[in-house]
């Protein structure tokens, strides 16, 4: 589940969780409202990403997302990973091992992604916000869906574009994902979000 766990911050950033939230002053609330409003305008998004793992390994790829619930992370070769959600099921395909693992969307951190009504100041996972001259740094702690991690998200000022996130898991291992060339409001083919058949490799082997 490590590939899914590194997406926890992305889920948090687009989350609608509204349980008892931490205390924020008026300035913090205003900035969290600004970020929420910006995220609420997103219906589709695409771009590239760079992932730096805890061992220093660098992976790159492309992502596409579409509300509600559909997302695709395609890693560039030689990384053999593809993550796809069709809104109900998340599939993690490894072409090197010829495996396809499937999870219910509700059992992964991606369940709360692409929410239509985001209110970060009421999100119980958000624990702090830091103001920098050219960025807002939002800190969160995720304990949902078996993912226990400290998360730091960076939003550019004044555009409030999500630039990167860092996840530190309960073993102290850090993974950073930086987004690049992001576009919103773009047309994305629906067939990108078709979940791979879990028996696909068996069928190919059988001819």
Tell me, yes or no, whether 193 lies in a domain: no
pLDDT at 6 over 70: no
The stretch 21-31 carries a mean pLDDT of 85
Whether this model's pTM surpasses 0.85: no
d(CA 125, CA 118): 13
The stretch 154-169 carries a mean pLDDT of 91
Q: What is the pLDDT of residue 5?
A: 62
Tell me, yes or no, whether 187 lies in a domain: no
pLDDT at 20 over 70: no
Tell me, yes or no, whether 195 lies in a domain: no
Cα-based distances in Å from 41 to 4, 34, 115:
25, 11, 11
Q: What is the pLDDT of residue 154?
A: 93
pLDDT at 181 over 60: yes
pLDDT one-digit tens code per residue, 58-89? 999 999 999 888 989 999 999 999 999 898 88
Tell me, yes or no, whether 200 lies in a domain: no
How long, in residues, is the chain? 207
Q: What is the pLDDT of residue 10?
A: 74
Tell me, yes or no, whether 190 lies in a domain: no
Tell me, yes or no, whether 62 lies in a domain: yes
Q: Domain range spanning residue 9?
A: 2-182
CA count, 13 A, side-chain hemisphere, 202: 6
Question: How wide is the angle at C-alpha 33 spanned by C-alphas 112 and 123, nearest 5°?
Answer: 40
The CATH number given to whatever domain includes residue 53 is 2.50.20.10
d(CA 27, CA 97): 50
């Amino acid at each position: 589940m490590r590939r899914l766990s590194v997406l926890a911050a992305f889920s948090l950033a687009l989350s609608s969780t509204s349980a008892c939230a931490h205390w924020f002053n008026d300035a913090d609330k205003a900035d969290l409202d600004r970020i929420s409003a910006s995220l609420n305008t997103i219906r589709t998004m695409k771009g590239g990403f760079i992932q730096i793992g805890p061992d220093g390994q660098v992976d790159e790829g492309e992502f596409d997302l579409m509300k509600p619930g559909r997302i695709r992370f395609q890693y560039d070769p030689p990384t053999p990973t593809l993550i796809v959600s069709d809104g109900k099921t998340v599939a993690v395909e490894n072409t090197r091992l010829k495996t396809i693992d499937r999870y219910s969307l509700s059992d992964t951190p991606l369940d709360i992604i692409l929410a239509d009504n985001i209110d970060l100041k009421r999100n119980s996972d958000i624990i702090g916000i830091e103001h920098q001259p050219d960025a807002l740094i939002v800190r969160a702690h995720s304990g949902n869906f078996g993912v226990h991690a400290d998360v730091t998200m960076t939003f550019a000022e004044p555009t409030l574009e999500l630039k990167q996130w860092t996840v530190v898991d309960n073993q102290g291992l850090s993974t950073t994902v930086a987004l690049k060339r992001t576009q919103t409001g773009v047309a994305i083919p629906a067939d990108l979000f078709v979940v791979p058949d879990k028996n696909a490799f068996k069928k190919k082997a059988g001819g």
